[in-house]
Amino acid sequence: MTVLGIETSCDETGLALYSAADGLLAHQLHSQVDTHALYGGVVPELASRDHIQRVLPLAQACLEEAGLQRGDLTGIAYTRGPGLAGALLVGASVARSLAWAMNCPVLGIHHMEAHLLAPMLEPDPPAFPFLALLVSGGHTMLVQVAAIGRYEVLGESVDDAAGEAFDKTAKLLGLPYPGGPQLEALARQGDPQRFRFPRPMTDRPGLDFSFSGLKTAVVNTVREAGTDAQTQADVARGFQDAVVETMAIKIRRALKHTGARHLVVAGGVGANQALRDRLRDVAEAEGAQVAYPRLAFCTDNGAMIAYAGHCRLAAGEQDRDDVDVRPRWPMSELQAPGPAAAP
């Protein structure tokens, strides 16, 4: 089976081809960062319009990269949700049109399931069951994964997502959107001793997260300490250390609680090297192995959609004719792959 994956949930147009026999055959990405940077955040209408222009040329580029023709496709997968409604509709419409033309099955994929499965594309994939930390622009979740489609959410953010906290703090420090990677670079020049920000919700039991108080602490600090270059770097360092340490505490707790031997860290914030290094140490101390997607597959991409699509399409799952996109879609609604799981 050769599956074309189409990701258009937010501000990246990602296309990829995955085959059972040969793995990932091609992947292409267009990021709209420059378009939205002018506005300091994603403008949904601009995102939809840009996806419309990019998606077919990128699909064609994938076919060329893999040396395949449209007729070689035997399945199409697209991101059904969660995400921006208009942006999701672009991917869904193109996917269904292509599938109709090719007379092959099509399936809408849950974006966070795809993030969670992204490390499966690496040479040494994690074994089920595993614990997954999903840290992206819109989500912060700790998920116990028994198998594909069998997810138990153990904890999540009660307010801002981790990536959102990075982006808002970066904005506060005058860094261009999206601030996560820029804040990480700035933090490298920062003094870890100068500011100690709170580690939210670590002083009580449970696996939920909260980042809005941390953001407020940063706002107050910047107001008092000013914004000279060194102070900015010191604030960036203090903020990043607080996020990383909070995650480390929760992960240690979750590993102890579940006895999991494998930890997956996925989503855009998983690209953060300080977080990677710290969680590797925590996992090792608990006797667990940690798996990450390659950096390019931490943030949004088509490869993870093609892979998740392949897993489900190969099990006989496909969309009915009347499905719609799901801008909000709780992960707990997912089921193990198979014909009966079709949405």
Q: How many residues bind ligand ATP (CB under 6 A)?
A: 24
22 annotated among ligand-binding-site residues = no
Single-letter amino acid, residue 316: G
Sheet holding 23-31, edge to edge: 23-31, 12-19, 2-7, 75-81, 106-110
Using the rule CB under 6 A, is 139 a contact of ligand ATP?
A: yes
**Binding Fe ion by CB under 5 A: which of 300, 309, 310, 334?**
300
Site for Mg ion in 5-34 (CB under 5 A): 10-12
**Binding ligand ATP by CB under 6 A: which of 5, 81, 126, 180?**
180
Burial category of 278 from C-beta neighbours within 10 Å (exposed 0-12, middle 13-18, buried 19 and up): middle
Q: How many residues bind Mg ion (CB under 5 A)?
A: 4
What's the token pair of residue 140?
A: 């912060």
Question: What value, to the nearest 5°, has the Cα angle with vertex 1 and ends 92 and 303?
Answer: 55
97 annotated among ligand-binding-site residues = no
Closest chain position to ligand ATP (CB):
268
Residue among 88, 92, 96, 100 nearest 44 (CA): 88
Of the candidate spans 85-93, 136-144, 149-157, 226-234, the one that interacts with ligand ATP by CB under 6 A turns out to be: 136-144
Site for ligand ATP in 35-94 (CB under 6 A): 83
* Min separation Cβ 31 and Mg ion, Å: 7
Q: What is the dihedral of CA 252, 253, 257, 262, to 10 degrees?
A: -30
What's the token pair of residue 273?
A: 């090297």
**Binding ligand ATP by CB under 6 A: which of 79, 169, 246, 272?**
272
| 295 vs 12: CA distance, rounded Å | 15
User: In DSSP terms, which residues pair with 29 in a beta bridge?
Assistant: 14
Using the rule CB under 5 A, is 136 a contact of Fe ion?
A: yes
203 annotated among ligand-binding-site residues = no
| 209 vs 199: CA distance, rounded Å | 10
Nearer to Mg ion, 11 or 234 (CB): 11
Site for Mg ion in 287-306 (CB under 5 A): 300
Question: E strand or H helix at 97, and its extent?
Answer: helix 85-102
309 three-state secondary structure:
helix
Nearer to Mg ion, 300 or 317 (CB): 300
60 three-state secondary structure:
helix
Q: What mask of x and - would describe binding to Mg ion in positions 172 to 211, judged by CB under 5 A?
A: ----------------------------------------
What's the token pair of residue 160?
A: 């801002």
Annotated binding site: 111, 115, 134-138, 167, 180, 184, 272, 300
Q: Give the residues lining the site for Mg ion (CB under 5 A).
A: 10-12, 300
Q: Give the residues lining the site for Fe ion (CB under 5 A).
A: 136, 300
Q: Give the residues lining the site for ligand ATP (CB under 6 A).
A: 9-10, 83, 111, 115, 136-139, 163, 166-167, 178-181, 184, 267-269, 271-272, 299-300
